[in-house]
Amino acid sequence: MGYIEPAPIKDKENPFESMMSRFHIAAQALGLDDEVYNVLKSPAKQVVVSLPITMDDGSIQVFEGYRVIHSNILGPSKGGIRYDLGVNLDEVKALAAWMTWKCAVVDIPYGGAKGGIKCNPRSMSAGEIERLTRAYTAALGEIFGPDRDIPAPDMGTGPREMAWLMDEFSRAKGMTTNAVVTGKPIVLGGSLGRSEATGRGVMVSTLAAMEKLRINPYHATCAVQGFGNVGSFASLLLEERGVKIVAISDLSGAYYNESGINIKEAINYRNENDGTLDQFGGAEKIEGTDLLTLNADVLVPAATEDVINMTNSDKIKVKLIVEGANGPTSAKADQVINDKGIMVVPDILANAGGVTVSYFEWVQNRLGYKWTGERVNRRSDRIMKDAFDNVYKISKEYNVSMRIAAYIVAIDKVAKTYKWRGGY
Ligand SMILES: NC(=O)C1=CN([C@@H]2O[C@H](COP(=O)(O)OP(=O)(O)OC[C@H]3O[C@@H](n4cnc5c(N)ncnc54)[C@H](O)[C@@H]3O)[C@@H](O)[C@H]2O)C=CC1
Ligand SMILES: O=C(O)CCC(=O)C(=O)O
């Protein structure tokens, strides 16, 4: 398949401003004082690096790489690395702040960071991606570290890139340092359960929300946007629990089957076809954006930012949105969705299963010990369910949406920690 350019998203909002508008509402509800507000509204560190890479044809191409540390108040900063043509500083700043709130919502001892390289990994060879990953790691070698800043996979990256990052960092330090990065291959110290962890957390959040809404999973239908790491595992695990997945999608388009898509078949098809669902035969092909407005009970956006926005929010028909992606709902669309009475399990809660198991991976690396997959899943399910219940309780207490409640939980924890540690 040739590379398919994503269609530009209409009315895309500035992601950092979107994040700030929710932060502002939650800070007001919480009565956050000005000092802490000012500390938390700006990232602690922003680094932009220029990466000249020799391409396979011998030419030199210069790529721009970013790493933003939003906060290290709760601990070393943590967050994925994204390879995508849409990467820019405002996006990375927003994603870094979301990591701060996410780690606080699930109560793990990390601050928030995010990184990215503006590139199109689908049009690059493995060798070019390896050289780019190694150059990025070398450029940020003084930022990364198991006690400082710990990257992980995000869109366009996975265990392969994390292995190169770990190796490059270890070579520079003269010792194997596997705790510098999570989401590694198992053989390099990756944790069992990390690959499926984000999708698994989405499944746990979806079932918890369905229980509140009295939706029986065995009678429920669900549409999932994005069929990468998060979307495919969320689909598989929800299907295993009785939910009928009626639509899935990726950059090639959306695929609809009202009797339910066989998700194992779709995953096998994608794995055998260069990572794409293009020409998938188990469903009828529909427009990618039509998936968002289908008649289903649940929508899981698991692709990218701002896909639910002012052009389509009034047409959304589901009862529940569970945000597998970071920032899939624009801040302006929040109000429309709330007015329609749709429950939203927000990104900083719903997709926190990934960073939770990344934390377990880091703990195992530091202990020099391996947990069983059963132990990883049991503990992460518990953390996700407790976090859901806590956010739900706060949403009732403050009479706010689940999104604002999650921000309240997070900001409160970070602010209290900041106060105890003291400013400069
Ligand atoms: N990988 C992880 O552990 C975590 C990922 N996330 C978030 O989940 C989202 C997806 O990440 P991954 O699954 O890791 O990425 P991935 O690179 O594995 O997969 C992305 C998928 O989305 C599809 N896609 C991209 N743009 C699209 C569009 N406009 N419409 C339909 N499909 C589109 C791609 O074709 C691909 O199927 C991102 O927002 C990421 O930040 C959040 C928490 C953890
Ligand atoms: O696993 C991690 O450390 C971070 C994953 C991530 O980037 C995210 O949750 O958005």
Report ipTM (2 d.p.).
Answer: 0.99
How close is the Cα of 228 to the center of ligand 1, in Å? 6
Q: Candidates 154, 229, 230: which one to mutate for ligand 2, based on the most atoms within 8 Å of Cβ?
A: 154
Q: Looking at this protein, which amino acid is placed at residue 133? A: T
- 15-47 confidence digits (pLDDT tens): 999 999 999 999 999 999 999 999 999 999 999
What amino acid positions are annotated as catalytic residues? 114
Q: What is the atom index within ligand 1 of the atom nearest the CA of 303? A: 22
Q: Would you say the CB of residue 244 lies under 6 angstroms from ligand 2?
A: no
Asked if the 43-176 domain carries CATH number 3.40.462.20, the reply is: no
How close is the Cα of 214 to the center of ligand 2, in Å? 30
- 75-103 confidence digits (pLDDT tens): 999 999 999 999 999 999 999 999 999 99
Q: Which ligand is nearest to the CA of 84?
A: 1
- 103-133 confidence digits (pLDDT tens): 999 999 999 999 999 999 999 999 999 999 9
Domain locations along the chain: 43-176, 197-350
As beta bridge partners, residue 256 has 247, 284
- For position 422, what pLDDT does the model report? 85
Tell whether the model's pLDDT for residue 3 goes beyond 70.
no
What mean pLDDT comes out for the span 387-400?
98
pLDDT band at 1 (very low <50, low <70, confident <90, very high): very low
pLDDT more than 90, % of the chain: 96
Sign of CA dihedral 108, 235, 156, 407: negative
- 284-339 confidence digits (pLDDT tens): 999 999 999 999 999 999 999 999 999 999 999 999 999 999 999 999 999 999 99
Tell whether the model's pLDDT for residue 173 goes beyond 50.
yes
- 214-242 confidence digits (pLDDT tens): 999 999 999 999 999 999 999 999 999 99
Q: Would you say the CB of residue 152 lies under 6 angstroms from ligand 2?
A: yes
- For position 2, what pLDDT does the model report? 38
Write down the CATH number for the domain with range 197-350: 3.40.50.720
Let me know: does 103 contact 383? Beta carbons within 8 Å: no
How close is the Cα of 52 to the center of ligand 1, in Å? 27
How close is the Cα of 194 to the center of ligand 1, in Å? 15
- 43-176 and 197-350, same CATH topology: yes
- Write the DSSP string, 85-151: TT--HHHHHHHHHHHHHHHHHTT-S-EEEEEEEES-GGGS-HHHHHHHHHHHHHHTTTT-BTTTEEE
What mean pLDDT comes out for the span 54-70?
98
Q: Candidates 286, 304, 309: which one to mutate for ligand 1, based on the most atoms within 8 Å of Cβ?
A: 304
- 258-283 confidence digits (pLDDT tens): 999 999 999 999 999 999 999 999 99
Tell whether the model's pLDDT for residue 5 goes beyond 60.
no
What is the value of pTM for the model shown? 0.96
- For position 13, what pLDDT does the model report? 80
Q: Looking at this protein, which amino acid is placed at residue 60? A: I
Q: Which residue lies with its CA nearest to atom 7 of ligand 2?
A: 80
In sequence order, the 6+-apart residues with CB closer than 8 A to the CB of 412 are 30
Q: What is the atom index within ligand 2 of the atom nearest the CA of 150? A: 3
